[in-house]
Amino acid sequence: MNRTLPTTATAVAIAALSLAACKKSDLMTPPPPQARPPAASSDSNASADATDQRDASRSSPEPEPSPQPPMLAMAYKLGLAVPADQVRPLMESHQEACERAGTDQCQVMAASADAEHGDRATASLTLRATPAWMRVFRSRAEADAKDLGGRIELAGTEGDDLSTQITDTDAAQQARAAERARLTQLMQRRTKNLGDTLQVEQEITRVQGEMDQASSELAAMKTRIAMETVTISYESTAMAAPEGDAAPLASAAHGFMGNFFAVLAGLLTVTSVLLPFALIAAPVVWWLRRRKPQAARPVTADH
């Protein structure tokens, strides 16, 4: 009896120690790592990127269109004063230079020269050329006048903006083309009404005529932009306005003889108009005076 009790107490003590050791080992052991959530698929990433791009495009302002350069038709004016005997040769030399360049570089639009009358001579030349050729020619023309002892009387530039006209014409052409296509589709349908068919044909002809006219106008405007125009006027130095402080006196001296003969010509004109009336009126007046009875003279009595 006494031997059994210690054995039982020993067993209980050993079990208590084992249980305490197990709890201590559980406390010392680290917890297992938690499982991470699965990574998102590539499709989800692509859709997220697309959404971000759409949001960014909505938030960012659209770039403004860059302004188009104006479509200008350039025209120049040039006035040259040279000695009277060099007016016509200078004009002809400039005309020949344009003709030698070829029609793809320069075209003569008009040329004229008046007959020389002493120290008075005039000429005119109108050219149409490419911008590069025109730039060289204008410098050469001014140098030619100075080499001949002349001067430049006039130098001007004008630019006509054809941007609006060309844009409107292009838009009208597109509208007419759409109308012609619609009418052509109507023609392709089989219709039994001859009157309707003729009416559609007339409309197609009208639209085509308008398109041809607009195409010609558009081509002319584009040619004006691609080719520049210059009008050169030549005159003798005697006809050109004098320069300097004594210019009024010199101008009056140049115009003295001209004014004198102009007044004399006016008097001759008036005389030539009145002379026939005077020749007719003089005999009539003389005859009327002869017909008029003379007044009776008073008779004096002799004393």
Say if 92 falls within a structural domain: yes
Residue after which a domain boundary falls, among 208, 236, 264 = 236
**Comparing 139-143, 168-172, 279-283, which segment has the lowest mean pLDDT?**
279-283
Q: Is residue 3 predicted with pLDDT exceeding 60?
A: no
Contacts of 82 (CB under 8 A, 6+ apart): 90, 145, 148, 149, 150, 234, 236, 237
**pLDDT mean across residues, the chain:** 76
For the record, the structure tokens of 85 come out as: 């005997």
Do 79 and 132 fall within a single domain? yes
Residue after which a domain boundary falls, among 211, 236, 261 = 236
User: Cα 2 to chain center, whole Å?
Assistant: 132
Say if 210 falls within a structural domain: yes
Residues linked to residue 231 through DSSP beta bridges, in sequence order = 77, 126
Q: pLDDT tens-digit profile of 182-209?
A: 888 887 775 667 777 788 888 889 999 9
Say if 29 falls within a structural domain: no
Say if 261 falls within a structural domain: no
For residues 73-83, one letter each, b for 16 or more C-beta atoms within 10 angstroms of the residue's C-beta and e for the rest, the string is bbbbebbbbbe
| Contact criterion met (CB below 8 Å) for 123 and 186 | no
Say if 253 falls within a structural domain: no
**Above pLDDT 90, what percent of the chain?**
31
The label of the residue with tokens 């002349």 reads 150
User: Cα 170 to chain center, whole Å?
Assistant: 15
What pLDDT is stored for residue 47 in this prediction?
Answer: 55
Do 214 and 143 fall within a single domain? no
Q: pLDDT tens-digit profile of 247-258?
A: 455 455 556 666
Q: Is residue 42 predicted with pLDDT exceeding 80?
A: no
Q: pLDDT tens-digit profile of 72-98?
A: 889 999 999 999 999 999 999 999 999
Q: Is residue 228 predicted with pLDDT exceeding 90?
A: yes
Number of independent structural domains in the chain = 2
Average pLDDT over residues 89-115: 94
pTM over 0.85: no
Do 169 and 215 fall within a single domain? yes
Do 130 and 188 fall within a single domain? no
Do 134 and 190 fall within a single domain? no
Say if 251 falls within a structural domain: no
Say if 143 falls within a structural domain: yes
Do 154 and 183 fall within a single domain? no
Average pLDDT over residues 43-49: 52
Q: 203: domain range?
A: 163-224
Q: CA angle at residue 116 from 113 to 119, to 5 degrees?
A: 125
Say if 273 falls within a structural domain: no
Q: pLDDT tens-digit profile of 49-63?
A: 555 555 555 555 555
For the record, the structure tokens of 17 come out as: 């120690």
CA–CA separation, 132 vs 205, rounded Å? 42
Do 133 and 185 fall within a single domain? no
Do 204 and 124 fall within a single domain? no
Q: Is residue 165 predicted with pLDDT exceeding 90?
A: no
The label of the residue with tokens 């691609």 reads 226
